[in-house]
């Protein structure tokens, strides 16, 4: 519930029925996503909010390598709703390739800072900063990701 209120304040958008989820609805969505985990050890409910200069998704990740990435035009804000993982930020993306203009992905990060994240945590990743969510054995993590276009 705190997370939903924080998102609404952050976005400064008039509350509409489709922009509100109860804790029970979020739990049900997490459970549904956990049955859809694919090749990148993740399942994504994309663009649950989509408005001019920002959009949001719900992401569920389970153990596995995942991928590293950076975005030239988008800042990421993660709101962790359940579970725990590690996140690496900064450094240099290994095996970097441009997936689309301004979107770089790779297999890892060399020289970044590792931090633990868990339920209730908020992580801000500015544009251009490499990042990689690492989910260890026995872990899973679910979070909202708000992507805000850089000005």
Q: Is residue 11 part of a domain?
A: no
Q: Is residue 10 part of a domain?
A: no
Q: CATH number of the domain that 130 lies in?
A: 2.60.120.10
Residue with tokens 């408005």: 51
Q: Is residue 97 part of a domain?
A: yes
35: containing domain: 22-149
Q: Is residue 12 part of a domain?
A: no
Q: Is residue 8 part of a domain?
A: no
Q: Is residue 75 part of a domain?
A: yes
Question: How do residues 54-85 score in pLDDT, each as one tens digit?
Answer: 888 899 999 998 999 999 999 999 999 999 99
Question: How do residues 124-149 score in pLDDT, each as one tens digit?
Answer: 999 999 999 999 999 999 999 999 99
End-to-end Cα distance, the chain: 30
The whole-angstrom separation of Cα 151 and Cα 141 is: 30
Q: Is residue 7 part of a domain?
A: no
Task: Report the SS3 class of residue 10.
Answer: helix
Residues with Cβ within 8 Å of residue 82, at least 6 apart in sequence: 27, 30, 119, 140, 141, 142
Integer angstrom CA distances of residue 29 from 8, 88, 96: 19, 26, 32
Q: How confident is the model over 87-109, as a mean pLDDT?
A: 96
Q: Is residue 36 part of a domain?
A: yes
- Total structural domains in the chain? 1
Q: What is the DSSP letter of 145?
A: E
CA torsion sign for 108, 112, 114, 119 is negative
Question: How do residues 5-57 score in pLDDT, each as one tens digit?
Answer: 444 444 444 444 456 778 888 888 888 888 888 877 888 887 777 778 888 88
């Amino acid at each position: 519930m705190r997370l939903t209120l924080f998102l609404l304040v952050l976005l400064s958008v008039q509350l509409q029925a489709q922009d509100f989820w109860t804790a029970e609805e979020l739990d049900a969505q997490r459970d549904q996503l956990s049955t859809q985990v694919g090749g990148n050890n993740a399942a994504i409910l994309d663009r649950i909010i989509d408005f001019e200069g920002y959009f949001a998704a719900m992401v569920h990740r389970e153990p596995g390598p995942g991928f590293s990435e950076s975005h030239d035009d988008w800042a990421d804000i993660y709101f962790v709703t359940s579970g725990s993982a590690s996140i690496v930020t900064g450094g240099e993306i290994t095996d970097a390739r441009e997936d689309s203009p301004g979107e770089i992905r790779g297999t890892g990060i060399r020289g970044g800072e590792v931090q633990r994240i868990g339920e209730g945590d908020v992580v801000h990743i500015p544009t251009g900063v490499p990042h990689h969510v690492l989910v260890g054995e026995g872990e899973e993590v679910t979070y909202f990701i708000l992507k805000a276009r850089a000005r």
